[in-house]
Amino acid sequence: MERRKIGSLEVTVVGLGCNNFGWRIDAKATADVVDAALDAGINFFDTADIYGSGKSEEFLGRALGNRRSGIVLATKFGMKFDEQRTGAKPAYVRQAVEDSLRRLGTDYIDLYQLHTPDASTPIGETLEAMGDLVKAGKVREIGCSNFSASQLRDAESAVNQGDSRFVSVQNHYSMLHREPEAEVLPECARAGVAFIPYFPLANGLLSGKYRRGQPFPAGSRGGDGWGPKIFTDENLAKTEALAKFATSRRHSLLELAISWLASRPAVASIIAGAKTAAQAKVNALASDWQLSDVELAEVARLL
């Protein structure tokens, strides 16, 4: 599989989003997904402390076992874990990383990300604390998530010479949610910041299993509260048109969704989630379609 750079890290263009672990699937199913991802060549695993209230990190660390050194492990902190654990103040940065290291069963994190901006803490203080983790060898690179272009610029301005800077930003991006194209992606290209799209399959809508007028599959995101937000008639119509386009070229809608993201400037790794080993394998193979300029233009028209 193609590999791209996140700072000094080399990651597969398709990674594994681990938000299902400890919430939608148990430890055994997590191990099955991780095994399948590794077998398919994926080396980038992205989780967060709040996923499954810590269980995602625990299950992922357990599933990796002695294969930890062969992968790029990313996690996040800063969203509310409980009443005491939240935000990005330096003292909590130091506590949060120790908590994640313990749950993951490792002594270092490859990419440590601030999950959301913290308006109550100057970004320079957070960056200094995260940089200290790099100097201590507990973290290799630092990144952020849910940052706007102006917040990325503020973070860049707050870095002292020689200190660590954010090498990545992880934001919501898919063929059906293109907000990052306005400002964040251009800023990433300008500053040399890697972009990691989350919800690349639009909560499953771009997986190809949904159709207008048909009930949502059992256990799908369409049926557990996401439907009214994303599974609109307009989006379903777009996915049908995109699916026909992909089929006409002997590809699936899922392959189109991931390969299209892989074609976008600054995108490093597409972290699609998976609940089964089969899903992990399909996702891993989905980036092989090298879309031509003509095909990209046709997709733009359909969107």
Give me the active site residues, please: 51
Q: How many CA atoms lie within 13 A of 78 on its CB side?
A: 25
55: which 2 tokens? 């269980």
Helix (H, G, I), strand (E, B) or coil at 55: helix
Q: Do 147 and 182 contact (CB within 8 A), yes or no?
A: no
Residue carrying the six token digits 């939240």: 86
- Distance, in Å, from the CA atom of 178 to the CA atom of 188, rounded to the nearest integer, reads 15
Spell out the long-range contacts of 246-252 with Cβ–Cβ below 8 A and sequence spacing 24 or more.
Answer: 249/289, 249/295, 251/289, 252/208, 252/286
CA 102 remoteness from chain centre? 22
Phi, psi of 57 (to 5 degrees): -60, -45
Phi-psi category of residue 294: left, alpha or beta, with phi > 0 → left and psi -120 to 50 → alpha: alpha
Please give the Cα distance from 113 to 102 (Å, whole number). 17
